[in-house]
Amino acid sequence: MNPEVCIIILNWNGWKDTVECLESLYQNKYDNYKVILVDNASEDESLEKIAEYCQGRIELSSTCVEYQRDNKPLSFIQIDGEEVNRKFNTLDYKLLLIKNRENQGFAIGNNIGMRFALNNFNPDYFLLLNNDTVLGPEFLIELVNTGESSKEIGFVGPKTYLYNDEDVIQAAGGGNIDFSRGESHEVAFMKKDTGKFDKNMELDYVGGSCLLVKKEVTDRIGFLDEEFYMYWEDVDWCFTGREAGYKSIYSYKSRIWHKYGTSSQDHFKTYYHNRNRLYFMKKHAPSGYYQKFMAHYLPEILRESGYQLLYKRNWKLFKSLIKGAVDGIKLKN
């Protein structure tokens, strides 16, 4: 058994992170995979620099991965985002680069990549991968082995370390949800790796920085809910899968490193986190828990927004908090 994996990576104004991620990815020991890079309308020189990297004209400087010259140049093709629904001759390319005309966020960007993969390949798995990750050489072997170990497993995630502190775990695969407060808690968050989390375990969700999902799961439940745009969509996807009978599993032998906390601006993060937290709770909270959550959430949001306005004088964050709450309450599941 050697299932085909289609790997989807998003880039937005982050070519330096992206080429480091790609360099580690092309050195991984699993051999049956395709790489689809979706550029979300970058405003910097990302497309040019990624092309130069593929051509072997940029030598990566990294503390986490050693640059290899002997696998360059990497064949690639650039595809307009408006054309992803047609079939291409993709057999000879190491990198499929899709150029979106506008930044459509995490959910839509990944969905575009997965739809392209279905039109051009025959994947058994999709892997959603953040561009600000660096990957261990056996990370994908271990993820696939875990996925193949049970038909009930739908989603698999690795042990994720901090990029700048390789002994500290950001998350053991993903996390669990406290429905009474509407909060997600990553397992092993910021814990020193003492071996305590060296065992596979079932989680509520697998984190979106590195999320392996079986194609059969997407056949049943669809792709990411595009209403989320960014944040909570990975949690929502895993819960939708769980409601269809699929488990989310942490694969402890799979190891990656993540540049945690570098992916977005504060006011955007604040808006979408608050909006989507409410949307998720409407979709998935067990009976009676949404009311408990709102009794906790409303005083919390009033305190935090008041603090940002009156003490921090941060008008942008104040507006993001209030607008996120209002828009989240309005959203229908």
pLDDT computed for residue 262 by the predictor: 52
Phi, psi of 36, rounded to the nearest 5 degrees: -120, 115
SS3 assignment, position 154? strand
- Alpha carbons 111 and 173: distance in angstroms, whole number: 22
Q: Band of the pLDDT at 169, cuts 50, 70, 90?
A: very high
Q: At 324, is the pLDDT very low, low, confident or very high (cuts 50, 70, 90)? A: very high
Helix (H) or strand (E) holding 54: helix 46-54
Alpha-carbon torsion (84, 232, 4, 241), positive or negative? negative
* Amino acid 151: pLDDT: 98
Q: Give the pTM.
A: 0.95
No. of helices (H) and no. of strands (E), the chain = 9, 15
Looking at every residue in the chain, the average pLDDT score rounds to 95
**pLDDT score, position 127:** 98
pLDDT at res. 28: 97
Integer Cα distance of 158 and 146 in angstroms: 10
Tokens of 330: 């309005």
CATH number of 5-258: 3.90.550.60
CA distance 301 to 312: 15
Tokens of 243: 């409601």
Which residues, other chains included, contact 283 with Cβ-Cβ below 8 Å and sequence gap of 6+?
236, 239, 240, 333
* pLDDT higher than 80, residue 155: yes
DSSP state of 90: -
For 179-216, the pLDDT digits (tens) are: 999 999 999 999 999 999 999 999 999 999 999 999 99
Distance CA 159, CA 188 (A): 9
